[in-house]
A = this chain, B = another copy of it.
Amino acid sequence: MQPNDTQAAEECESEGRATSMNVLWIMADQLRWDYLGCYGARHIETPNLDWLAGRGVRFNRAYVQSPICGPSRMSYYTGRYVRSHGSTWNGFPLRVGEPTLGDHLREVGVKCALVGKTHMTPDREGMKRLGIEPESAIGALVAECGFDAFVRDDGTNHSDYPGRHAEDYELYLREQGMEGENLWEEWANTAEGPNGELRSGWLLQNAPYAARVPKEHSETAWLTTRGIEFIEAHGDRRWLCHLSYIKPHWPYLAPSPYNGMYSASDLPPVNRSEAERLSDHPLMRAWMGMRVSKSFSRDEVRSLVAPVYMGLIRELDDQLGRLFAFLEDSGRLEDTMIVFCSDHGDNMGDHWMGEKDLFFDCSVRVPLIVYTPRAEADSTRGSSTDALVEGIDLAPTFIEYFGGPSKPHILEGRSLAPLLRGQETEWRTFCVSEYDYSTRDARREIGIDQTDARLAMIFDGRWKYIHVEKMRPMLFDLESDPRELNDLGANPDFREQADRLKALHFDWSRRHHSRITRSAEDIEKMTDDREPPGILIGYRDRGELEADGLALPSHADK
């Protein structure tokens, strides 16, 4: 901790409990916005999230900066677009020196802790270049994307993360009496079939079977407990706790009773069209042709998997109920901002696709609920807004909540504070999401070089424009076609709209995003000063100099 952090922290401490403020930032993984009751879902119940929405603001148009875990999260954690932080795909390290939410919060004396998943891959090469030991205090922060890792767990047991706490869940399961070589794989990701046979969570056909792990010890329950432990341990100090769940991300396996809570008959109809299936767009064709897309396009598979996906959401909601009850009982609801969001959705067979690729709303639009205890938000409780918000808006929101500086030269998002207060405010007119498919096999099929495997979405609240390098764009009118079934990108009647959105994309592309070492205030001051002291440019003689109120730095010409 830097000296000024200690000072800031002490100042806060001395103000005592009355002004202490915390943030509990809950993230689900791969959770669709339209699978929550408060977002209008009628096929699933999420009473606890609905309760939260009733006390806070529900954002109807929250978009993530990439439909993929890693880049989306790096945007959340830096408050910067993917093109800016450069971690464009899972496992692409976040470059050393990229400022994180944790860095900004530590400056104002706030602990920024992690309980769960980040999908961060450390930039070991960069750290080595700068002589930063991964074992040092700063090295650990750099490796953990700026978070103090109370618990780090990325879900499956195969990720290459620094792992200070990576084995926590393994150890926990062992303490509960479970045995095996890889406890996550053998208990959380293995089900017991009707005849006691073991069935792997990696196979979609096994989705309906109950995970071997009982619900009390699932990843979702365990992370909830760890989150509560963190809060109990840090009570009156100012903290942000990023409670980052792994579910309802695949593998699609739920503990009893969640595995059997829903059935195929509960599912909403799949959202796809024959016209889509016949699309002439090479990218659509390639993505619909992926194995995972073909799997999820089979009704039989979706009927097996989606009910379990819903069960996992229900399980999450139940655990959040336990968490919210704890907050209420401990008085923390009075001083804790609670934010709930997701890193992206799940296509789940919609648009003939599996996984979360591309930019359909089922993937790139996420649930976002923000509750703040402050009285200034009383007028917006239980309301919703259609403002176009982005994942990168959370970091500036938190920093402002803790009284930190806004740093727009680094943070590209905008604080949601005015929206939470219900203030009239000039808001952004479009949002952006990006997708780098350079490591996707389909890239080779289409014949695209790895440097050109780039997509960008521009969405202005009605028109969704997808820039596709080397191919024609895609275009959807969400007003006339809210289900996004009709790609207008090749339709000359909509050329004008496409051109307008393309121009917005260009505008956005030109913006500064690497000029992060000089603040707006610095720049205004430099403009006032004109030149550094002692530097005099273009003066013919002393008269000209004096007319500008300047003097020579030496004894010459005096």
Contact = CB atoms under 8 A, between A and B. Distances in A.
Given A92-B517, A97-B95, A99-B129, A539 B506 contact: no
Contact of A295 (B200, B532, B538, B554): B538
A555 interface: yes
Nearest to A553: B185
A530 B292 CA distance: 12
Contacts of A511: 451
Nearest to A100: B129
**Tally of this chain's copies:** 2
Nearest to A291: B538
Given A517-B86, A535-B156, A540 B438 contact: no
Contact of A556 (B87, B130, B198): B198
Contacts of A84: 514
A527 B439 contact: yes
A488 interface: no
B527 A443 contact: yes
Contacts of A293: 538
A419 interface: no
B526 A439 contact: yes
A450 B295 contact: no
Contact of A530 (B441, B530, B536): B441
Contact of A205 (B2, B514, B541): B541
Nearest to A555: B198
B537 A355 contact: yes
A517 B189 contact: no
Given A132-B131, A554-B190, A203 B95 contact: no
Shortest Cβ-Cβ A-B pairs, 8 listed: A97-B97, A292-B538, A86-B514, A200-B556, A198-B556, A158-B534, A509-B509, A439-B526
Given A156-B535, A451-B512, 10 more contacts: A88-B512, A93-B517, A94-B517, A123-B517, A131-B137, A182-B553, A185-B553, A203-B540, A440-B527, A513-B514
Interface of A: 2, 83-89, 91-99, 103, 123, 125-126, 128-132, 136-138, 142, 156-160, 182, 185-186, 189-191, 198-200, 202-206, 250, 290-293, 295-296, 298, 301, 354-355, 436, 438-441, 443-444, 450-451, 454, 456, 467, 469, 506, 509-518, 520, 523-524, 526-527, 530, 532-542, 544-545, 548, 552-557
